[in-house]
Each structure stands twice: as structure tokens, then as C-alpha cells.
């Protein structure tokens, strides 16, 4: 998953982050990709926290979508 901004020709950094589905708690192998510069900013950390707090696995996402319809 790409998080934040990656400028053209910028070096990309990859992180392996433990991510858990916020609904069923299943752990999801999370690989986050971001630009080298952005990954060192506070915004990146905030965005990553936000992402983790709102993460749903594919199954729960489907479930939610179906409930809405």
C-alpha cells in the first residue's frame, strides 16, 4: 500500500508494519510504501496511525459494503 506522497524519481522506502483488522482483529501482512522524504515527517506517522486505526481486511470491508446496500 502506498501511503503519502512519492515524488517522481524519489527513492521509495518500504516498511513492514503489523496491521490488524479493526473489526475481526485478523493480522494482515502490511507493507507500506512511501517516499523517502515523506516517510520522515510527522505527517507520515500521523497518517500511518490513522490508517492502522481504520484498517479493515478485505472480508470485513465486503461485509460493510453489503450492509450498506
By CB under 5 A, name the binding residues for Zn ion. 21, 23-24, 57, 60
CB of 12 to Zn ion, least distance (A): 28
Question: How far apart are the C-alpha atoms of 55 and 60, rounded to whole Å?
Answer: 10
- Contact in structure between 35 and 13 (CB atoms under 8 Å): yes
CB of 21 to Zn ion, least distance (A): 3
Element (H, E) at 35: strand 27-35
Between 2 and 24, CB nearer to Zn ion: 24
Between 32 and 57, CB nearer to Zn ion: 57
Amino acid at each position: 500500500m502506498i501511503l503519502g506522497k512519492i515524488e517522481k524519481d524519489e527513492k521509495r522506502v518500504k516498511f513492514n508494519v503489523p496491521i490488524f483488522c479493526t473489526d475481526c482483529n485478523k493480522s494482515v501482512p502490511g507493507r507500506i510504501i512511501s517516499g523517502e522524504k515523506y516517510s520522515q515527517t510527522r505527517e507520515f506517522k500521523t497518517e500511518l496511525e490513522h490508517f492502522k486505526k481504520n484498517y479493515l481486511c478485505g472480508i470485513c470491508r465486503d461485509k460493510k459494503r453489503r450492509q450498506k446496500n
